[in-house]
Amino acid sequence: MMKMKAGVRPLEEGIRTDFREEMDYASYLGLDQVLSAQHPVSEPEHHDELLFIIQHQTTELWLKLVLHELRAARAHLDTDDLLRALKAVARVKHIQRTITEQWSVLATLTPSEYAEFRGVLGSSSGFQSYQYRAVEFILGNKNEKMLPVFRQNPEAYELLDGLLHEPTLYDAFLRLLARRGYAVPDEILERDVTEPWVERPDLIPVLTGIYQDPASAWDIYEACEDLVDLEDAFQLWRFRHLRTVQRTIGFKTGTGGSSGVDFLKRALDLTFFPELISVRTEVGA
């Protein structure tokens, strides 16, 4: 019997080691492509540019999954499968927590370090993230004027144009409420879905009834709170983004031409489900 070296754990007999004709971990995940997709452009290469690239690439991967889950949630609402919709929303909330905490990694990039390679970014900017815009579109913050930014990318343009003309997650939820017998005004159910959502005071009485008697339809009540969780998590992500940018570049203009921190501050005023906040003033009043 072969003597094992001290401290070396032997492989179990069933573990495969020959992958000449089998798919392995790296090939399934496409790691050759993923791990070779980081291309720093600073010369000589700045040590911290890899951090900057990976931070944004991983965020884009999570945004891809967020959009995947939100579309699934909307489809489940359309078929009155509320529980499966909430399961998808729950997953999105966990993803949001992850990408929000991720800002703490980028915050280790000091102003001096970033200044050494910021110039090589040219006009590229997170403002141009079409997946971020897609998530905002499906949640209700639609802006047709954003489409020209992506005209040179047919795939991105088609995605955003499609979401622009499709109902939002909130639209799907309100239509489910109407099918369940709630008096959602017809003007809301038949609204132009290409327009950004704006607060509708005539929806408040419907939501007030839900909140004043949660036991009568606990799943609907829970869905309302899950949407609020979603909104809060998104706002927290925006705020951490703002603080990280401010910490790193102060009040400089953004690389994409925006006003930087001031632009991000204005984004904090955007809301997806304003009635679900306003109804809290009515409950118990």
Annotated binding site for substrate: 52-56, 114, 118, 255
pTM to 2 decimal places: 0.93
Rounded CA-CA distance 253/80 in Å is: 46
Which sign does the torsion angle of CA 153, 155, 265, 194 carry?
positive
| Per-residue confidence in pLDDT tens, the chain, 285 aa | 556 677 788 878 888 888 888 999 999 999 999 999 999 999 999 999 999 999 999 999 999 999 999 999 999 999 999 999 999 999 999 999 999 999 999 999 999 999 999 999 988 888 899 999 999 999 999 999 999 999 999 999 999 999 999 999 999 999 999 999 999 999 999 999 999 999 999 999 999 999 999 999 999 999 999 999 999 999 999 999 999 999 998 888 877 777 778 878 887 888 999 999 999 999 887
Q: Which residues are annotated as a binding site?
A: 52-56, 114, 118, 241, 255
Among 226, 166, 175, smallest CA distance to 203 is for 175
Give the chain's domains with CATH numbers.
48-116+130-248+260-281 (1.20.58.480)
The alpha carbon of residue 44 and the mean position of all alpha carbons in its chain are separated, in whole angstroms, by 34
Annotated binding site for heme: 241
Q: At a CB cut-off of 8 Å and minimum separation 6, what does 235 contact?
A: 268
Which of 17-50 are b and which e, b meaning 16 or more Cβ less than 10 Å from the residue's Cβ? eeeeeeeeeeeeeeeeeeeeeeebebeeebebbe
